[in-house]
Structure 1
Amino acid sequence: MKRKALLKAVAGVVAATTVLTACGANDKPAQTGGEVKPGGTVRLLNDSATQQYDPAKSGSLVVTALGLVHRRLTSWKVAPGQDTTIIPDLATDTGRPTEGGKTWTFTLKDNVKYNDGSPIKAQDIKWGLERTYAAAFSGGLTYHKDLLSPGLAYKGPFEGGKELDSIETPDDKTIVFHLARPYGDWNWIASTPAFSPVPKGKGQEADYGNHPVASGPYVLEKYERGKEARLVRNPHWDRATDDTRKANPDTIVFQLGQDTSVISKRLIDDSGDDQSAFSIPFASPAQLAQIQANPSAKSRVVTSESGALAYLTLNTQRGKLVDPKVRQAFQYAVDKAAYQVASAGNAQLAGDIATTLITPGLQGREQFDLYPAPPSGDPEKAKKLLAEAGLPNGLDGLVLATRNENSYPEKAAAIQAALARANIKITIKALDEDTYTSEVDTKGISDYDLTLTSWQPDIPSANANIQPLFQSTEIGNGGVNESRYANPEVDRLITEAQATLDPAEAGKKWAALDKKILGDSPVVPLIYTRNSFLHGSKFGNVVIGRFPAYPDYRQFGLIQ
């Protein structure tokens, strides 16, 4: 897949890794003061100036904004304290694999309609997927692309009207996918935005996302970049066909381009319409102190159990870092406790220390630690490994690339200080998002020795934790294998795990890959970040499950 990391790609979700308490999600009731009832207007305050409602261009999770307007073949059941499970959405089931998982068949439910009252057809799912191959409609998640068109030979439906032959629609309700190879997670992939229906023949205009045809409970009534996205009810959405979307509010207003400090102040003050509001981004550490000092605001914070994996990448194709023993020294040199403090002020606020690649909440994850050390690290052990690798005086002249936002410069400084204890001297280069993507993710050969970043999977599968970050095909061209890790045996095992249909068996294979990759030390796991969200006193049903570490927008409503 060729796209930015999820924490930047998700439409409508930009959350900092700071929290108020160490409690799990929803330890404090989200709907203090009463029961959520249908009706009214909720406001979601967003610091981003844009939202993407074209499913071909979106990396939005099932639980966020796009899912209010567009349905998909499958969906997720999310609940606090429970693993996220797959359930049908537009389809009658979660897919029927044959040929060992190389062919998947779905049947659409009865009475599923667009906002104009016309029926949703299997051909519309196919058309929506075909749109994603056109260059003008790139930018969304791409797990499906190479599986349906090896080598991406297919270029979309707009020039010459060519169809994607790997997708069959024998009738209006049946869609059959013929994949290039067996793929056990195809039912999860069918929950990504590309599997949203677009009426066949529509969506050829570049601004389709400003006026999409809706299949979900809401229609995009108004979109004004930097100001507002307004969703109103879809009169032809049938609640009886949809098990996940509560569709409580009559109207959902995203206020775009808001200053984060202003958002925080509005919700702390909790007056007027802001009592019915929710913050998509979270406050800075300085603002957290204000919230902690306000009992009312503190009671209106909901925190995830876990979240993205924050990690330090080591460029396995550059200089002395080609030696695994040199890379293993970094596992002991880092000070994860200092990283926690730099992230959010203290360990409790930041998230738990990480020792695995697969994040908590995913099936098959195993807890282990190949490099046991105190939270502050073991610089003497790091020095010993460097000496054994022929570097008794350590390393000098390394360059660490990181983003210049969300306290990344402070976190990079903590890494720099920790490495210095082990005689590893680095220079930090803080880059804006576009430059970081261009210099680190687009180039096949990076000029940087280290990068500091984070990752949360696009789907609740360890596949989405491991494959994007460590398969050799994800080096450069927008991929996120920033360690430039290329191991043919790991590539083979990834393909083998992806082909496994039984989730439990696949989980074991992904856990084994977690250990195998970490044995090569292409990255240093730092923490599993937590996310927290503040809402007004009349805003209810702020639900966060074990995955993802974001609230389920489908449940939102007003306490009346």
Structure 2
Amino acid sequence: MFARSTLAAAILAVSTGAAFAAPTQITLGMVLEPPNLNPTEGAAAAVDEVVYANLFEGLTRIAPDGSVQPGLAASWDVTEGGKVYTFHLRDGVTFHDGAAFDAQDVIFSLDRARAPDSTNAQKELFTGIQSVEALDPLTVRVTLKGPDGGFPFKMAWGDAVMVDEASIAGIATKPVGTGPYRFGEWRQGDLIRLQAYDGYWGEKPAITDATFRFISDPTAAFAAIMAEDVDAFPNYPAVETLPQLEADPRFKVIVGTTEGETILAMNNTRAPLDDLRVRQAITHAVNRQDIIDGAMFGYGTPIGTHFAPHNPDYIDLTAQSAYDPEQAKTLLAEAGVSGLKLRLALPPPPYARRGGEIIAAELAAVGIATEITNMEWAQWLETVHNGGDFDLTVISHVEPLDIGIYGRDGYYFHYAKPEFKALMAKLQETVEPEARSALLKDAQKMIADDAVNVYLFQLPKIGVANARIEGLWANAPMPANDLGAVRWSE
């Protein structure tokens, strides 16, 4: 009897422990499938949502609170008034193929990103670099053309991750990084799987197997959550179902902020959009609150310029482009424009598709007809973002502190005003915080005055997750699903 009871108790203990052991696998839902897995070339935020801090790492990294933290560089020294940065690399770091990470990889990564033929989507991050040199295998000195107090922040972007020359040829589909996860598989149109890397230099993640499933349809996303086919949807597209999910004890709803300025972008070089009065008319024809209510079910913060409201340097310029359809009609008349028909390209996210329909109706009310084209993500990137072949489009720019895109030659909405470029050049060389703040405010005002785009709302971060999951980012200071601190509670 004793032996039998002891055996039964042991079996019960083992089975009970197994029943309550925390899972080590997780499945995340994503609206958009990345076009590739190379963060150093593509403009799609969906790339970073899979690989940032998971598969690839930079010299520095962005923490959940938006602060810049050490990454592959354990520390750095700043000399010559912010012109020279000396990075001290971590010892014992390896790429997923076993190759050692050292100063030569930093030189290769930064020289590749700033090369004349570089296709890095954020090449401007690297234009201030004058030279990159190894002082020893674990020390790299970066000399800039001028002081740049924001350089550690720039090195934290997904576009600035460290890569290995030996594996660069396959980076788009079989990426090799230094992060806590290595690439597992990619079933295109379905999922990407990452697996914990045993040789990771830092703290090992609690999640050992992570799957990213691509579900663009809001109805299908809701069904996947309800059936628990996905464990979390960090950027949940079916916001109309949130009340039902909030009432279900199986789930928790996580509402935070993003760096995503959602805009109705206009092609500033295409007539008649090259006329300030026409662009101003369009800004007055669109009711921001209608878009927030109709496309986002009330979630979202109105913006009047390309800057995040939670940033301390933000200025509220919404009144400058307030909803005023009569003013819109007057401006169109002053510009001599009538019977205008514009093409409106809409990518897949629900905010764009739903918001685009509302915008089309409001433009029609002031005499502007629109021809809507619903595009898949790869088509939008190729045609609109890369090709500039559009009149209007709705998109959320989720990169942090990215007002500098308005100074880029050839950028898809084609602004690049010389005076704005001069502002950005001055900002680049300014270190003193108050002076930088003033320049950023001047930049916000300039693009609002020029009605470069229609500034709609700051995209909220609305996530839904199994109630037992901990460690998901509530806010999105960077487009990322960093799994390093994610775990299941027991």
Distance 1:372 1:196 in 2: 38
2:398 match: 456
- The aligned amino acid for 2:398 is Q
Equivalent in 188, 197, 202 of residue 166 of structure 2: 202
Residues 169, 228 of structure 1: CA spacing in aligned structure 2 closer, same or farther, 3 A cutoff? same
Residues 321, 557 of structure 1: CA spacing in aligned structure 2 closer, same or farther, 3 A cutoff? same
Distance 2:151 2:451 in 1: 30
Secondary structure class of the residue paired with 2:356: helix
2:226 match: 268
TM-score by length of 1: 0.72
1:186 match: 151
Equivalent in 87, 90, 93 of residue 109 of structure 1: 90
Equivalent in 295, 319, 327 of residue 248 of structure 2: 295
Asked whether the 8 Å contact 1:343–1:411 carries over to 2, the reply is yes
In the alignment, structure 1 residue 169 sits paired with structure 2 residue 118: no
- The aligned amino acid for 2:222 is S
- The aligned amino acid for 1:456 is V
Equivalent in 89, 92, 112 of residue 74 of structure 2: 92
Residues 285, 62 of structure 1: CA spacing in aligned structure 2 closer, same or farther, 3 A cutoff? closer
Give 1:188 deviation, angstroms.
1.2
Residues 94, 191 of structure 1: CA spacing in aligned structure 2 closer, same or farther, 3 A cutoff? farther
Give ranges in structure 2 of 5+ residues lacking alignment: 1-19
2:475 match: 545
Distance 2:149 2:238 in 1: 40
Q: Deviations over 1:334-381 (max 9, x none)?
A: 12222223313x3x23x12222221123342223335163xxx22122
2:105 match: 124
In the alignment, structure 1 residue 249 sits paired with structure 2 residue 201: no
Distance 1:136 1:494 in 2: 23
Give 1:517 deviation, angstroms.
1.7
Asked whether the 8 Å contact 2:30–2:212 carries over to 1, the reply is yes
1:65 match: 51
Asked whether the 8 Å contact 1:400–1:429 carries over to 2, the reply is yes
Residues 233, 182 of structure 1: CA spacing in aligned structure 2 closer, same or farther, 3 A cutoff? same
Asked whether the 8 Å contact 1:129–1:194 carries over to 2, the reply is no
Report percent identity of matched pairs. Answer: 19
In the alignment, structure 1 residue 41 sits paired with structure 2 residue 25: yes
1:152 match: none
2:325 match: 379
Distance 1:255 1:443 in 2: 29
Give 1:229 deviation, angstroms.
1.3
1:402 match: 345
Equivalent in 232, 255, 270 of residue 278 of structure 1: 232
Higher relative contact order (CA 8 A, sep 6+): 1
> How many pairs align?
466
Asked whether the 8 Å contact 1:70–1:197 carries over to 2, the reply is yes
Equivalent in 315, 329, 332 of residue 284 of structure 2: 332
- The aligned amino acid for 1:219 is R
- The aligned amino acid for 2:265 is T
2:385 match: 441
Give 1:74 deviation, angstroms.
0.7
Residues 135, 253 of structure 1: CA spacing in aligned structure 2 closer, same or farther, 3 A cutoff? farther
Give 1:119 deviation, angstroms.
4.9
- The aligned amino acid for 2:295 is S
**RMSD of equivalent CA atoms:** 3.5
Residues 72, 314 of structure 1: CA spacing in aligned structure 2 closer, same or farther, 3 A cutoff? closer
Comparing 520-529 with 56-65, greater Cα deviation is found at 56-65
Distance 1:208 1:330 in 2: 39
Residues 223, 493 of structure 1: CA spacing in aligned structure 2 closer, same or farther, 3 A cutoff? same
Residues 197, 552 of structure 1: CA spacing in aligned structure 2 closer, same or farther, 3 A cutoff? closer
- The aligned amino acid for 1:471 is G
Equivalent in 344, 363, 377 of residue 419 of structure 1: 363
Larger radius of gyration: 2
1:397-546 superposed matches below 5 A: 397-407=340-350, 408-443=352-387, 446=389, 448-457=390-399, 459=400, 461=401, 464=402, 466-468=403-405, 470-473=406-409, 475=410, 479-480=411-412, 482=413, 484-545=414-475
2:3 match: none
Secondary structure class of the residue paired with 2:454: strand
Secondary structure class of the residue paired with 1:69: coil
Distance 1:305 1:194 in 2: 22
Give 1:73 deviation, angstroms.
0.8
Asked whether the 8 Å contact 1:312–1:526 carries over to 2, the reply is yes
Give 1:315 deviation, angstroms.
3.2
Distance 1:543 1:55 in 2: 20
Asked whether the 8 Å contact 2:33–2:214 carries over to 1, the reply is yes
- The aligned amino acid for 1:384 is T
Secondary structure class of the residue paired with 1:342: helix
- The aligned amino acid for 2:329 is K
1:78 match: 64
Give ranges in structure 1 of 5+ residues lacking alignment: 1-35, 150-165, 240-246
Give 1:106 deviation, angstroms.
1.5
- The aligned amino acid for 1:378 is D
Asked whether the 8 Å contact 1:366–1:511 carries over to 2, the reply is yes
Distance 1:546 1:296 in 2: 25
